[in-house]
Structure 1
């Protein structure tokens, strides 16, 4: 018996026999290279923009400003030096955790209220027509204008802050969810109907997955709004939080600590938005 080698007609082990697969592999590799270069370019440009902002800040407070001027108290050199002390030797981390907890509660309540309302409004045209003017009217009212009423109704403490943050966050979530329902592929709904799917099955398997991208977009917008509203809300009869810490540094004339806290607020807001973008990407809706 003679051995059969690859030259006898059998394909060689480890060699690709499909030109189509080779072409697909080359295209995939080229796509990864292009995507990597685009990501690198985006990172470099973003870092450059932040560097320019930092340079402008430094020039305005350390270079242009006259010596011993009041503006010098807000310079980046003193702010970054104070920042390390605040993170390690003060109760700033406690205030950060308190603020993040309030944001989480406000966003959670907004999701619990806004998503079901958005699904209902987007599913029923008559309900949409009846509620749209009222929703548009309410969402144009600044959440901060409700602060005196919130204190009178809920008293001082966390409850008025939860109300204000929920009120601020609910509108982008509700309206984006409703828009997602309206933009659902009609063929999906027809398919569910032809398969005799129940209303609950249609909601679970068609509507909710179909509007998830819109919900996450609304959540990202809500995070930006809530983070902006949070600081003035925490200047309202509470004893903890970043807003309270800002007032405390002002009263103590600790201007470098105030500037460092502003940096912390900006950094945390940036990270929250980055987390929302990553959640959107992981959901498979990123384009």
Structure 2
């Protein structure tokens, strides 16, 4: 989350920043992102094989025309499992990001606008949670709630709230000192109206960029939890679980883990680059 917060310092109006569609290099990540969206909505367009279909005649088959990513130790088509696992992996990542954003907005607003004693307590609480690695916090939630897709989503989301809360708090403190908020106060607008109409919309605008980058981070964290056996329970097709399936066959059948890992890496990189492209687009529109 630290690297995500670091980019906020560059979210300043830049009149010279070109639009996203004028930078072809930033359009490249749209291709894998669109493919992910299609795979999530209609996996049948990519493969007609079921992700759990066992073929004992094709156990540990090498990648080829019949099985693009080869097969695993049970004869299941790895490509089909990757495609069908896209929906669950992205759902967990998106859900976790929404949980983190919602919790971060509420906690950040309270840490900035609550009475002084409450603010001090919340700020210290945020600092405490930021002192721990997110994966460790996610592990603690998993230990408390148990494994499974829903619990993995909650674990990843809850572990990220503190970072979003610190961002929202800093943005709220900046916005409340702005001229238009001071003008609204001088006009006698109610405090609730000022918060809902001026503070929240302007303070949460950077979340669009941070949440986009955070989506890739959430997918990666969820996959890591499944890889170590504390996320999605096999034999459900999920990216991290697929990596775990092949870790005992890296010498004889590396494609079981390597090819799904490549898909995860490309997906996370594409989402991150797209988020940074969105950052440049927003900065350019602010400066227009």
Tell me, yes or no, if the aligned pair for 2:239 and 2:260 is still in contact at 8 Å. yes
Corresponding residue for residue 144 of structure 2: 153
Question: What SS does structure 2 have at the residue aligned with 1:234?
Answer: helix
Corresponding residue for residue 186 of structure 1: 178
Residue 125 of structure 1 deviates from its aligned partner by 6.7
1:122 aligns with 2:112: yes
Q: 1:13-58 CA distances to partner (integer Å, 9 max, x unpaired)?
A: xxxxxxxxxxxxxxxxxx99x959xx66x939x99xxxxxxxxxxx
- TM-score, length basis structure 1: 0.64
1:43 to 10, 25, 29: 25
Residue 207 of structure 1 deviates from its aligned partner by 0.7
Q: 1:112-147 CA distances to partner (integer Å, 9 max, x unpaired)?
A: 211121122122472332222221111222233345
Following the alignment from structure 1 to structure 2, what is the Cα–Cα distance between the partners of residues 79 and 182? 55
Residue 194 of structure 1 deviates from its aligned partner by 2.1
Stretches of structure 2 that go unaligned for 5 or more consecutive residues are 1-14, 30-61, 71-76
Corresponding residue for residue 105 of structure 1: 95
Question: What SS does structure 1 have at the residue aligned with 2:188?
Answer: coil
Following the alignment from structure 1 to structure 2, what is the Cα–Cα distance between the partners of residues 80 and 177? 49
Tell me, yes or no, if the aligned pair for 1:83 and 1:257 is still in contact at 8 Å. no
Tell me, yes or no, if the aligned pair for 1:168 and 1:222 is still in contact at 8 Å. no
Tell me, yes or no, if the aligned pair for 1:83 and 1:260 is still in contact at 8 Å. no
Following the alignment from structure 2 to structure 1, what is the Cα–Cα distance between the partners of residues 155 and 84? 22
1:167 aligns with 2:158: yes
Residue 151 of structure 1 deviates from its aligned partner by 3.9
Tell me, yes or no, if the aligned pair for 1:114 and 1:173 is still in contact at 8 Å. yes
Following the alignment from structure 1 to structure 2, what is the Cα–Cα distance between the partners of residues 83 and 135? 48
Tell me, yes or no, if the aligned pair for 2:96 and 2:157 is still in contact at 8 Å. yes
Alignment of 1:276-287 (within 5 A): 276-280=275-279, 281=281, 284-285=285-286
Bigger proportion of residues as helix: 1
Corresponding residue for residue 44 of structure 2: none
Following the alignment from structure 1 to structure 2, what is the Cα–Cα distance between the partners of residues 145 and 181? 28
Tell me, yes or no, if the aligned pair for 1:147 and 1:160 is still in contact at 8 Å. no
Q: 1:233-281 CA distances to partner (integer Å, 9 max, x unpaired)?
A: 1232512311100011223443023221121111111232244345543
Structure number with higher relative contact order (C-alpha < 8 Å, ≥ 6 residues apart): 2
Judged with a 3 Å threshold, the aligned counterparts in structure 2 of structure 1 residues 244 and 158 are, in CA distance, closer, same or farther, namely: same
Alignment of 1:36-75 (within 5 A): 43=25
Let me know the Cα RMSD of the aligned residues: 3.7
Residue 107 of structure 1 deviates from its aligned partner by 0.9
Corresponding residue for residue 204 of structure 2: 212
Following the alignment from structure 2 to structure 1, what is the Cα–Cα distance between the partners of residues 18 and 64? 35
Corresponding residue for residue 189 of structure 2: 197
Corresponding residue for residue 265 of structure 2: 266
Judged with a 3 Å threshold, the aligned counterparts in structure 2 of structure 1 residues 212 and 251 are, in CA distance, closer, same or farther, namely: same
Corresponding residue for residue 229 of structure 1: 221
Following the alignment from structure 1 to structure 2, what is the Cα–Cα distance between the partners of residues 147 and 272? 22
Larger Rg: 1
Following the alignment from structure 1 to structure 2, what is the Cα–Cα distance between the partners of residues 80 and 180? 52
- TM-score, length basis structure 2: 0.64
